[in-house]
Amino acid sequence: MPAVASPLQLARDVALAPVRLPLRVLDTLVEPARTDLRRNVRRSLGVPPDPVPPAEDPDDAFLAPGSVARRVHGDLPSMLIGGLSALLLQSLHPLAMAGVADHSNYRDDALGRLRRTASFVGYTTFGTIEQADDAIEQVRRVHRRVHGIAPDGRPYSADDPDLVTWIHVAEMTSFLASCQRFGRRPIIATERDAYWADTAPVARALGAEWVPTTADEATAYLQRVRPTLYAGPQALAARDFLRRGVGRRPNDRAVHAVIVSAAVTLLPGWARDELRIPLPPLVDPLVVTPAARAFCAGLRWAVAPPAQPAQP
């Protein structure tokens, strides 16, 4: 009996193998099996098997249906890369990292943690006001239990407004950078400002007292906090875990290697230096970025919603 390919192997084969037939022909031939593939790939990547149905009523939607944030967050491949890059960047804040190390089981339940984060982003991007409010309140309940003393002797609390701002900015910076490099099309300057304005209410609702609402404000914020960031033992342990991944099959490891390599290229140079992740010259433009873009294109095909029948 032939071996059954894993969902990630199927996604990889679609992404990295030469496509010999037009995609519209492939769609016709494989759509019956594609529904199962779509759900299995999403599960294997640690995201909910079905995306959050977008709320289309402007009066009921948490974010406007035409918002830039919906376009950025709606592209699963670039969000996967940006999400991993965000985790690496966030680990450089010693108080934020202490909270994760002391109160999170990320080593034992990495996919579960990723799935919960993906659900939160989904509800606060595509959900109704009620769904988003429920998701935000759930996170706030968890944050109230997360507090302690960091290895450097300072107390930390997950509901500290400054920490909420840091987590938000690191995450949104990474999502936006990934969309810019690996998304369907680049984000222009006015759209970048709109993205920060779109996503600011989520951070405020989580307890942040100040949140950037333009790209320039976000850049200035990162410059201001940079002297306080460093990779202590907890950050380096998280770095090793994130780079290693949880896949055991060679094919799953190959997919993760593409994602993590692309995520590293999104980090600012100073962040890579702190995390001690070298990026040799020419490796990014000649190897990593082309492979990641091919992977993203294939994954988009694998998880795309079924084509709607033409209206008579």
Positive/negative CA dihedral, 136, 97, 75, 216: positive
Tokens 């190959």 locate to: 254
pLDDT tens by residue, 21-45: 455 554 555 555 556 666 666 666 6
Could you state, in chain order, the average pLDDT of each consecutive group of 10 residues for the chain (312 residues)? Answer: 47 46 52 62 68 93 96 95 96 97 86 85 96 97 97 97 98 97 93 98 98 98 98 96 86 88 96 94 88 92 63 42
pLDDT at 100: 95
pLDDT at 268: 96
| Torsion angle (degrees, nearest 10) of CA 72, 77, 83, 84 | -150
Largest CA distance in the chain: 68
Specify the pTM: 0.85
